[in-house]
Amino acid sequence: MFYALNWFLSLALLALWSLACWGMHAVTVWVVSSAGALAGGSAVANTILVPGWLKAWMPPELMGQWEAFVSSVGPMVQAVLEAVPALAGGVTFLAWVLWGLGAVLLVALAVGIHILIALAKRHNGGPGAAKAALAR
């Protein structure tokens, strides 16, 4: 029973790990591939960086400081954003490596727990050992 429970939980964790890696990969590739659109200039960057609903809640002084900061960092950000879409292939490779490491770790953990269950059964003599000791 413990073996089945161990492997069921381990495979469920592996499925959740796979789902999490897939979701993070999809979001990361979307962000990296659409980052080139931000290189369109400061108007696009201001629209994306500070949404309209947030502008209504920001004080005018803070908004002025924010716009000054964005305009001063703009050329550097634009250079980085133009180079980012080329990294989308690297993100896929990195996602597969991270998924593989996590999967190996989860399977190794399941095998370790399997061995611990076997050792515990051997040490205790199995499920019938207590009845035999009471019968003596």
For residue 41, report the phi and psi dihedrals to the nearest 5 degrees: 130, -175
Domain extent listing, the chain: 2-135
pLDDT of residue 134: 52
pTM beyond cutoff 0.85: no
Low-confidence ranges of the chain (pLDDT < 50): 47
Residue 14's nearest CA partner among 95, 114, 109, 92 is 109
pLDDT of residue 7: 94
pLDDT of residue 34: 64
pLDDT in tens, 99-108: 999 999 999 9
pLDDT of residue 18: 97
Half-sphere exposure of 23 (CA within 13 A, CB side): 6
